[in-house]
Amino acid sequence: MGQSGPLAKIAGFGNMAAAIVGFHNLTGWPDRPPAGLFGAYTDYVAPRFTAMALLAALDYRRRTGVGQYIDQSQAECAIHFLGPAILDYTVNGRIGERVGNSDPVFAPHGVYKRRDKIRMTTIGLQSCAATMTTGGAYAPQ
């Protein structure tokens, strides 16, 4: 959990980094404890940032002959994906909450029973929701 600091001696696993960054507070149902993500989320997203950092370092070395030291945190890579929640707090003062299957952008959005009553279907229509909120063709009259 970092090269220095109080957590430096603790092994960094993706599920721990996701919790430290704040994903767990935004996932799950409002009336239940935080659920966390489907897996070790930062383990999945951090390698993409690592690949870009390596390519940039290799390009810099090719152009200048000087190598680079890459110090990258899984948590710092993952926090990028909390941008909308961080921006909403910064601009509007709203603290993100767990909303279950609801969604602030996609509407209608939820889990609905199908005719066979065995499977569930999720429906989300971003274009209609965006149009409704901006006064477009689907906006309530």
Return the active site residues. 43
14-21 vs 41-64: helix crossing angle, rounded to 10: 90
Determine the Cα angle at 86 with ends 99 and 83, to 5°.
95
- Using CA atoms, how far apart are residues 45 and 100, in angstroms rounded to an integer? 23
Joined tokens for residue 16: 């721990």
